[in-house]
Structure 1
Amino acid sequence: MSTAVWFITGASSGFGRLMTEFVLKKGGIVVATLRQPDVLAELKAQYPPEKLLILQLDVTKPEEIIDSFAKAEKAFGKIDVVFNNAGYALLAEVEGAPEDKARVMFDVNFWGATNVSKEALRFFREVNKPAGGRLLNVSSIVGITTVPALGYYNASKHALEGITETLASELDPEWNIKITLVEFGGFETRGRDSLVRAPPHAAYLKPSLASAASRSYLLNKNVRISGDAGKAIAKVYNLAQLEDPPLRLPLGNDAVTGFREKVAKILTDVDKYKSWSEGLAINS
């Protein structure tokens, strides 16, 4: 994978920036896409064009997605891995979230990620044939569980989970395309800096409420998130090299715990009420 071409969205900061730097240090080639290319001026000065191609891309604009993949093909002739990472969070109770802000976030986290996924699959199938490729969709433990005061962010990741799993189920194995949802737990990426905030809804001001605790935690910059993002990115890099990768990869002890608790709760409810489904068949 040292000479693999990685197409990375949201390369300006967080996991996208870390992955860009990691792949370059490993000797790989990166097509780094972001809304403001000047942010990567320092990296551009360190690496030649045959190693790093920086492209302006707003994932909410489908024509820019298509154009970016076309430029990557012209420059390198292939893309081996798409790290579909662009996204951000909206801090607001469901009742208090401004709908316009929630819709804009969905345009990035869901529609943007979905359109990147679709173009990646087309590229892997038609340009890379028969080599295929790897699509790594960046999700989160909140795509499986939820965090209060992040309702629309949770929902956008839940939606990404559903569309990604469906895409994976629709693939022809002959295309040699592998898809994985990377389910990050809590990692220190300074993602709180890009957090869009809405004021608390008047009905949710009670300090004992779960949403108030979430706000306090997320807005307290003195509280450092324990996960090492650099170590997590190294695991994602290794993931891209697996012959038979998982559909979902939870990363971080909190993510693993969250998965286990969610599955246990679902199974508990299923077992408790399974008798309700008996005798529902026609003519039973």
Structure 2
Amino acid sequence: MSARVWFVTGSSTGIGRATTELVLQKGDIVVATLRKPEVLADLTKQYGSDKLLVLKLDVAQAQEIKDTFAAAIKQFGRIDVVLNNAGYAVMAEVEGTPDDAARTMFEVNFWGAANVTREAVRVFRDVNRPVGGRLLQVSSAAGIRAPPTLGYYGAAKHALNGLTGAIAAEVSPDWNIKFTNIEPSLFRTPAIDQNVVSTPLHPAYAYTESPSARLRNMTPEFVQTMPEASEAASRIYRLSTLEDPPAHLPLGKAAVRIMRDTLTNALEDANKYGVWSDDLSM
């Protein structure tokens, strides 16, 4: 396989950084985008400009997305894989989440990811020769079922999953574009601290055995039980090589359990209450 060109958003830390490092080690080319390019100074020294292009990108700025894709095309001529990874979480009860905090997060986690999605599809179809590409959407297990304190984060990831399903159904098979929603549970990474914004516990949820309070008190010992971000990266790279990739890829035992439980419960509801729709035309 000849070297592929990857476009990675949110490459400063976590899964984005780990995947960037692995892709370079595998001999592929990376366009690494992030808000602070100096964070990747060590990789810039290690790899030449023929292998690594580091670009400043705030995905909440739609024009910056177009500009970075254009710069990538100018240097490498095509983009084969887009890892749509940039994002952060707001940890707060639904009642306790300030509107501005939720809306700002949606600008990054949903609208930013949506604009990257649209530009990626355009490049795969209109620029690449031969046409085609892979769009790997870094969603979350919270996009399958949001836990307490991550309601708005989960809502943004649900929205991204829905958008991806729609555009995957819209594109022509002739464009050879393949989509996967990657839905990881927690992986051990500095991003857990750096990319999570917490608000004070809402007083109404300070009751005994509160799930919100329990999740907020994540211990260092619990964090150490999580798999490394490099483990997610290795599976993302493997996913990128599949001829027929899945529409959804839960990553982590907790993510697999959440998906199975959620789908099982939904099927039980459909089977139990499906008869309510028997006399409806559609």
The Cα offsets for residues 85-125 of structure 1, whole Å up to 9 and x where unpaired, read as 00010000000001101111000000000000100000000
Show the counterpart of 2:202: 201
The Cα offsets for residues 21-73 of structure 1, whole Å up to 9 and x where unpaired, read as 00111111100000000111111111111110000000000100000000000
Show the counterpart of 2:153: 153
Report the Cα offset of residue 281 of structure 1: 4.2
Report the Cα offset of residue 279 of structure 1: 2.5
SS of 1:223's equivalent? helix
Contact 1:130 1:175 in 2 (8 A): no
Alignment of 1:50-61 (within 5 A): 50-61=50-61
Report the Cα offset of residue 130 of structure 1: 2.8
The Cα offsets for residues 112-171 of structure 1, whole Å up to 9 and x where unpaired, read as 000001000000000003331100000111111111011110111001100011110101
Show the counterpart of 2:33: 33
Show the counterpart of 1:215: 216
Contact 1:144 1:259 in 2 (8 A): yes
Report the Cα offset of residue 2 of structure 1: 5.4
Report the Cα offset of residue 176 of structure 1: 0.6
Which ranges in structure 2 are unaligned for 5 or more consecutive residues? Answer: none
Task: Please give the alpha-carbon distance, in whole angstroms, between the structure 2 residues aligned to 1:181 and 1:97.
Answer: 26
Show the counterpart of 2:96: 96
Task: Please give the alpha-carbon distance, in whole angstroms, between the structure 1 residues aligned to 2:119 and 2:275.
Answer: 45
Structure 1 stretches of 4+ with a deviation exceeding 3 A read: none
Alignment of 1:167-178 (within 5 A): 167-178=167-178
SS of 2:146's equivalent? coil
Show the counterpart of 1:49: 49
Task: Please give the alpha-carbon distance, in whole angstroms, between the structure 1 residues aligned to 2:171 and 2:215.
Answer: 38
The Cα offsets for residues 164-219 of structure 1, whole Å up to 9 and x where unpaired, read as 111101010000111111111221122221210110111111131211111122xx
Which ranges in structure 1 are unaligned for 5 or more consecutive residues? Answer: none
Is 268-277 or 53-62 further displaced after alignment? 268-277
Task: Please give the alpha-carbon distance, in whole angstroms, between the structure 1 residues aligned to 2:22 and 2:110.
Answer: 26
SS of 2:113's equivalent? helix
TM-score normalised by the chain length of structure 2: 0.96
RMSD: 1.3
Alignment of 1:50-199 (within 5 A): 50-193=50-193, 194-199=195-200
